[in-house]
Chains A and B, each alone.
Chain A
Amino acid sequence: MSGPDPESAPGPADAPKPQIGADEWVASHEGRRQLGGRIQRELERVPRPAFYLTFAIAAAILPVATSDDYIVRVGFDTLLYMLLALGLNIVVGYAGLLDLGYVAFYGFGAYGYAMLASPKFGIHWSTLAVVPVVVIATALLGFLVALPSRRLVGDYLAIVTLFFGQLFVTVYQNGQAMTLLGFSRQYDVTGGPNGIPNLDPFNAFGSSITSLRGYYYTALIVFVIALGAVYLVDASRTGRGWRSLREDSLAAELMGMPVNRLKLLAFAFGAAIAGLAGTLFAALNTAVFAPDFDTPTLIIVYSMLILGGAGSLGGVILGALVVNVSLEVLRTPNHATWIFYGLLVVTLLVKLRPWRWLVGVIAGTVGLGFAVHAIASAWWPRGVAGVTQSGGTLGNAMAHWVLLPTNAMEMANIAFVILVLVVLWLTTLHGWVQKVALAPTLYLTAFVWENRLVVEPSVTRLILVGVILIVLMNARPQGLLGSARVEIV
């Protein structure tokens, strides 16, 4: 997908819609009349832990069901991301604090494990000792970072933590020659750009985990325990306290809530979970490098949390699953193309009503494509002389429809910029004009995809993540599973 998606970005309200905050019934209003709404209500009766249990069982079956190590590896990464999103959910989703240094805690946990269980300093502690030490240390670090900004508004916290995250990467990246103030002797603390290699595997009581599947199950168990813990904390007095300060910290303070203590607690709790995830990451990879804990990771975890719905535990699971699996699928051009067009069609199906418009737009797009292709092959042969980049059945079929110029890169770069502008312009249109403009936009999207985006999967993934954040925040800030927040004025 490229540029903000035309369909999921809402146009300005055509009719007066119920206002969140003004009408209490808005949250359930949308789905009430439809079948989806009924299913939703039925599902809400099932107690939450049943869902988590279903998920855990499904996740436990995965390595048995497949013999492909790659899939298990993706599963492990997804579990790790779930754990990260779970920790972030406490800080952002429950307590409403914007923590932009979150991955630094993840990195701190990973480096902590690396320093205590590797030949680097010759320390080889048992995992049962390392993990608690690292987790507690990370929690303390989180506490310290939040301390200077505790009395200030959330914005300052965002700045301090963002800069702290940057600082972490810089220091660990350059930590191969640290000097104590006033001394000239240099100490190699973090290995600098070479990282710390040859970490010990997880070990306890003389046995150690060496297989990928072993780590997968460890991650699953750790995640389920953490999920249970967070679920219980959420239902406790502390959890309610967090939510109260998220909704209105001033009111919470007036009600006698220890606001500062709650903020610090949320921060430390979130950091501890990130640290725990860090130890798992380090142990499986048997090496740590500072760039793994830089901003892109942070943004990806944020997009998971936001997609699933901040403040919702099911949302954490769903968000991490959807984002990580789609990012993984995007690596192979052939699969990515299927996902891409599938996503476009599904979005059209969901958003375009009534049906005749849907049929019209799709027919128009297809027709337009063939027309443009025919004209181009007659008048501008270079425009169709390029090779298909995505490959596969779909990619080859697309070659008869989409223009593939020989100078694909320059053309598609320009087209990409135009596409972004057109999509933005499209969101300001209404009614039939918007729908008529949709067909050329879709064709342009396909053009950009086939010629450029599919060639650069690593950049496309990150663009996609940015788009998820922007579009979701504008269209559905509560995410897929979250409940709409009521803003108190």
Chain B
Amino acid sequence: MNWNLFLTELISGVTHGSVYALIALGYSMVYGILKLLNFAHGDVYMVGAFIGFGLITVFGGPTALTVNVVLLLILMFLASMLGGGLLGVMIERFAYRRLRNAPRIAPLITALGVSFFLENAALLVLGAQYQSYNSFSWKNSPIALSGFTLPAGARISYAQVVVVVGAIVLMIVLTLFVQRTQTGKAMRATSFDREAAAMMGIDVDRVIVVTFFIGSALAGAAGVFNGIAYQQIWPYMGFQAGLFAFIAAVVGGIGNLPGSVLGGLVIGLAQSFSIGYISSTFSDAIVFAILIAVLIVRPSGLLGRAAVQKV
């Protein structure tokens, strides 16, 4: 067995999977509370990536940075999370709030419209060409290329380390927030039963805003992670990534946070191994097959609990 290829695909799959998992968490949180598939979520991720790119440009461009790279990374995360979060809150406020009690299909179509609007507005403002994070350097070597060599000859780059560690840190913070804080408790309660939560004195509007903010902030961070690990960003990147993250959320059990992370890893690994071992053009088909298989065998997802429909 070729361990080099296996490890390379494993590392790449985990990296990809971490990005998917971060996006999927936002989908899942919003779905848990509003039962809304927020198609615009992938485009928040795209905007996050561009905010990070904007900061790199402001500080001298990738090859001639004027600030310490670690400081810049931290700044990029803060800015993209804040920007993404605010964008998410605005989308909720202006596009979805009015439709909270409308027939199910209305917010879905609105979400499609928001996604399409964001993509094309970005195309207008940012231009249609690919932009590149272009490996800003760590100790004079680009972080996406240099890194550690593993025993079997496979390499793990600094960028991949940053992405995986960063994603894990964010997930731990999110778990602590949801499990330990008052607001987190309110979120769980609202997700369990919105009406009952409102009757217990929970400000549901505020909980929804917070949920959108956190979910979208994670997507913004995922955008920067993607830029660091894979360089290329462009206005339409959100649709594809959003779709896979979506499937990750469904495979893991939509509305279930650990499930989203698991789903993200499953999809990332499936994609990466099918590219490595089968065919790069049909890796999408394999992901589709996984989705269908999960829907047939375990419709509520790997970790999801079957929903009881209340009448």
A in complex with B = yes
Residues of A within 8 A of B (CB): 4, 92, 96, 98, 100, 148-149, 151-152, 154-156, 158-160, 162-164, 166-167, 170-171, 174, 179, 250, 295-296, 299, 302-303, 306, 310, 413, 416-417, 420, 424, 427, 452-453, 456, 459-460, 462-463, 465-470, 473-474, 477, 485, 487
Q: What would 18 more interface pairs be, CB under 8 Å, given A303-B113, A466-B120, A473-B107?
A: A96-B103, A155-B31, A155-B104, A159-B250, A171-B281, A171-B284, A174-B281, A295-B239, A310-B105, A413-B124, A413-B125, A459-B123, A462-B123, A466-B116, A469-B110, A473-B99, A485-B103, A487-B101
Other-chain residue from B123, B124, B243, B284 in contact with A162 (beta carbon distance below 8 A): B243
Other-chain residue from A149, A159, A467 in contact with B37 (beta carbon distance below 8 A): A159
Instruction: Decide: A160 and B113 in contact? CB cutoff 8 A.
Output: no
Instruction: Decide: A463 and B121 in contact? CB cutoff 8 A.
Output: yes
A-B CB contact pairs (8 Å), 28 listed: A4-B94, A96-B105, A100-B112, A155-B37, A155-B104, A156-B299, A160-B292, A162-B243, A166-B243, A166-B284, A171-B284, A295-B239, A416-B125, A427-B94, A462-B119, A465-B113, A466-B114, A466-B115, A466-B116, A466-B119, A466-B120, A467-B113, A468-B113, A470-B117, A473-B107, A473-B110, A477-B99, A477-B103
Q: What CA separation (Å) do A162 and B296 show in the bound complex?
A: 17
Known: A159-B37, A167-B284. A470 touches B120 (CB 8 A): no
Instruction: Decide: B110 and A163 in contact? CB cutoff 8 A.
Output: no
Query: Which of B99, B106, B114, B124 has the most CB atoms of chain A within a 10 A radius of its CB?
Result: B124
Other-chain residue from B109, B119, B124 in contact with A306 (beta carbon distance below 8 A): B109
Q: What CA separation (Å) do A167 and B283 show in the bound complex?
A: 10
- The B interface is mostly helix, strand or loop, or mixed, namely helix
Could you give, for residues 267-305 of chain B, a 1 whenever the CB lies within 8 Å of some chain A CB and a 0 otherwise? 000000000000101101101100110011001000000
Which A-chain residue is minimally distant from B239 (CB atoms)? Answer: A295
Q: What CA separation (Å) do A341 and B239 show in the bound complex?
A: 32
Q: What CA separation (Å) do A166 and B112 show in the bound complex?
A: 15
Which B-chain residue is minimally distant from A488 (CB atoms)? Answer: B103
Residues of B within 8 A of A (CB): 31, 35, 37, 90, 94-95, 98-99, 101-110, 112-121, 123-125, 239-240, 243, 246-247, 250, 279, 281-282, 284-285, 287-288, 291-292, 295-296, 299, 309, 311
Other-chain residue from B95, B104, B119, B285 in contact with A154 (beta carbon distance below 8 A): B104
Instruction: Decide: A474 and B281 in contact? CB cutoff 8 A.
Output: no
Q: How far is the CB of A470 from chain B (nearest CB, A)?
A: 4
Q: What CA separation (Å) do A306 and B246 show in the bound complex?
A: 24
Q: How far is the CB of A21 from chain B (nearest CB, A)?
A: 9
Instruction: Decide: A462 and B116 in contact? CB cutoff 8 A.
Output: yes
Q: How far is the CB of A125 from chain B (nearest CB, A)?
A: 28
Q: How far is the CB of B42 from chain A (nearest CB, A)?
A: 11
Q: What CA separation (Å) do A156 and B31 show in the bound complex?
A: 12
Q: What CA separation (Å) do A169 and B99 show in the bound complex?
A: 32
Instruction: Decide: B124 and A299 in contact? CB cutoff 8 A.
Output: no
Instruction: Decide: B284 and A158 in contact? CB cutoff 8 A.
Output: no
Q: Which 3 A-B pairs have the closest CB atoms?
A: A469-B113, A466-B117, A466-B116
Q: How far is the CB of A320 from chain B (nearest CB, A)?
A: 17
Instruction: Decide: B114 and A470 in contact? CB cutoff 8 A.
Output: yes
Instruction: Decide: A462 and B120 in contact? CB cutoff 8 A.
Output: yes
Known: A159-B250, A171-B282, A416-B125. A474 touches B98 (CB 8 A): yes
Which A-chain residue is minimally distant from B254 (CB atoms)? Answer: A155
Query: Which of A100, A413, A459 has the most CB atoms of chain B within a 10 A radius of its CB?
Result: A459
Instruction: Decide: A167 and B124 in contact? CB cutoff 8 A.
Output: no
**Chain A residues near B35 (CB, 8 Å)?**
155
**Chain A residues near B94 (CB, 8 Å)?**
4, 424, 427
Which A-chain residue is minimally distant from B121 (CB atoms)? Answer: A463
Q: What CA separation (Å) do A470 and B104 show in the bound complex?
A: 15
**Chain B residues near A174 (CB, 8 Å)?**
281-282
Q: What CA separation (Å) do A487 and B279 show in the bound complex?
A: 48
Q: What CA separation (Å) do A171 and B281 show in the bound complex?
A: 7
**Chain B residues near A452 (CB, 8 Å)?**
124
**Chain A residues near B117 (CB, 8 Å)?**
463, 466-467, 470
Instruction: Decide: B116 and A465 in contact? CB cutoff 8 A.
Output: yes
**Chain B residues near A487 (CB, 8 Å)?**
101-103
Instruction: Decide: A160 and B95 in contact? CB cutoff 8 A.
Output: no
**Chain B residues near A164 (CB, 8 Å)?**
288
Instruction: Decide: A420 and B243 in contact? CB cutoff 8 A.
Output: no
Q: How far is the CB of B100 from chain A (nearest CB, A)?
A: 11
Q: How far is the CB of A415 from chain B (nearest CB, A)?
A: 10
Instruction: Decide: A163 and B311 in contact? CB cutoff 8 A.
Output: no
Query: Which of B113, B250, B299 has the most CB atoms of chain A within a 10 A radius of its CB?
Result: B113
Q: How far is the CB of A1 from chain B (nearest CB, A)?
A: 12
